Structure 1
């Protein structure tokens, strides 16, 4: 197979890493809040903002231009582009909220080195601030479940045989379809549970389930995205015109 790489772009490598880091940052931030050691809020805002910017930029480009359609995978522009755009915007929104709260606390004279005070204050305010955002997250969670069913039903995500490592399983399309669909599904389930976890007096099991699912998905996306830097470079090398 020969692909004219001058007419398309494949950057779901950095998208996958950013998604994984974004999920793990959300969990880490929540853990630091509950343990009353959240630290300086500006650092967390920047931490959310970096993957948020990357996902918003790449997701918007993929959503609007459909670059993967030029190499025969137009459905991946929807699967990876639109979901990355949505998650990126939500991460940026979280970054703005945290940054704004940091500035507000400083103006109120709060000692930002008093981690217990900052954590407790944020713990009381964030559920109300994030509740409107959680409805969009839950709706996108339903979309991720739909993508998971499509991945299994249409046996999507199989790598071409020219791709190193993943291409070795090209004759077994259900293998990668099950793996990727499973990742989308568990992120989606966690997103659907998010509005319930933010309710006052919510069952703590909601948060535990979200933490468990997103930890698995976050680590998997980081490792899979990092591996894809090798496999996608290999795919390009193996499919360039000689």
Structure 2
């Protein structure tokens, strides 16, 4: 059986949650209007957000680092480390730095330690916009590579649910290339303008990261089911090639 370790389940869920939470954090802090916020503005806690981001960074950074430097981590598709793990590592590094800054320097004043100084936040993000923008460039190139070279491919027949559509690899490649990487890239590319206060850029970022984050989180969470079934199917077929496999 081919090595199938990629950590794409957990890394995908965490990356999706980051894309969902970051624009909502910005909306709550700056008072920007956003639909489907799903977070109460009147219960903001700086330390609560720091704890949430720290928990995500604690998982994302080491897994993305391991799957980047251990190349190829996935023997079946050796290029997956490049288009999946390396962008995730850049995201994780930015999240680690942002979490540290929020914990140490974001307070507006000592009298209200939970409140964040928005002007200080914008100033701190100014150099970070360069990193996020170029992460967007990386994601654009990854999206093109996924579609052009069928990089994601179709799921094997032994994988429940998604394996039923394995004969149509174009569907999964377009979903990843446009729906996940493409939308994430657009949000990164408009990030500098959004930080400077451009309302149209902010709404573009909000919707792109919300949709892409939801896609990453849902698809990767589903993989906990489909990958478990796939590995069980592979083990069963190795023991007895005539054994039935789980299709759903």
TM-score bracket for the superposition, by shorter chain length: 0.7 to 0.9
Unaligned runs of 5+ in 1: none
Q: How far has the Cα of 1:127 moved from its partner?
A: 1.2
| C-alpha deviation, 1:38, in angstroms | 6.6
Compute the RMSD of aligned alpha carbons. Answer: 1.8
Partner-residue secondary structure (3-state), 2:101: helix
> Match for residue 207 of structure 1?
202
Shift of 1:97: 1.0
Q: 1:91 aligns with which of 80, 88, 95?
A: 95
Partner of residue 82, structure 1 = 86
Question: What secondary structure is seen at the aligned counterpart in 1 of 2:150?
Answer: coil
Change (3 A) 1:80 1:175: same
1:33 is displaced (CA, Å) by 1.1
Structure 1 partner of 2:52: 47
Pair 217,207 (structure 1): closer, same or farther in 2 beyond 3 Å: same
Distance 1:231 1:97 in 2: 38
**1-side partners of 2:22 and 2:163: how far apart?**
33
The answer to whether the 8 Å contact 1:52/1:90 transfers is no
Structure 1 residues 38 and 96, CA, compared in 2 at 3 Å: closer, same or farther? farther
Question: Does residue 100 of structure 1 match 2:95?
Answer: no
**Which one of 42, 60, 64 corresponds to residue 59 of structure 1?**
64
Cα pair 2:13 2:216 within 8 Å, conserved: yes
Deviations 1:59-94 (CA, angstroms, capped at 9, x unpaired): 110111125432x11111111110111111111111
Structure holding more helix per residue: 1
SS where residue 112 of structure 2 aligns?
A: coil
- The answer to whether structure 1 residue 25 and structure 2 residue 21 are counterparts is yes
Alignment of 1:91-240 (within 5 A): 91-101=95-105, 105=108, 108-112=109-113, 118-119=115-116, 121=117, 123-157=118-152, 158-182=154-178, 183-199=180-196, 202-240=197-235
SS of the counterpart of 1:48? helix
For the 8 Å contact 2:68–2:85, the answer to whether it is kept is yes
**What TM-score do you get using the length of structure 2 for normalisation?**
0.85
